[in-house]
Each structure stands twice: as C-alpha cells, then as structure tokens.
Amino acid sequence: MPAYDEILRQVVELIRPLAPPDRPVAEETDLVADLEFDSLKVMSLVEQVEDRFDISVPLNILPDIRTVKDFTVQLQRLIAGSAP
C-alpha cells in the first residue's frame, strides 16, 4: 500500500492538468474555491484516480471532500480497504 505522501504526490500530479495554470496545488488547496473545479472536472479526476490506483471511488464520499488533503485521506482509506 502506498504511503500518504506518495498518494498525495500522485493526486497532485493528476490535479495539475485540470487546474488553472497559475494556481498552486498543495494539501490545503480547496478544489472548488481555489481551483474552480466543477462537477465535470471532479468526475474526470475521480476517473483518473480510479485508473491510477485500481480502486472504485464511491460517489457518496464526494460531498465530504473539499481540499486536496481531504481527497488524499479518503483515497488512502479506500486503498487500505482494497488491499489483500
């Protein structure tokens, strides 16, 4: 199972192409307020994350995710739950 820092690094890598080019992406970055993510960008990110980590992200967790850190913590839980 990848460590939190490795998951964070990969999440930031996936977010950068979807974010405005002049905006920094860090743990405390708010996906909607700071990066102007709409539902289409969120679903694109979810799809990429599912492919990258070979997991399924339940849509019911999305309302609880505001920041990059929130998303990374949820992914870490999902990855740990899917590990053999």
Structure confidence by residue, pLDDT tens digits, 17-29: 999 999 999 999 9
| pTM over 0.95, yes/no | no
CA angle (65, 67, 14) in 5-degree steps: 95
Instruction: Kindly report, residue by residue over 37-49, the tens digit of the pLDDT.
Output: 999 999 999 999 9
Q: Where are the alpha helices (DSSP H) in 1-84?
A: 4-15, 39-53, 68-82
CA angle (29, 27, 75) in 5-degree steps: 110
Q: Which fold has domain 4-82?
A: 1.10.1200
Token readout for 22 is: 């002049």
Q: Where are the domains of the chain?
A: 4-82
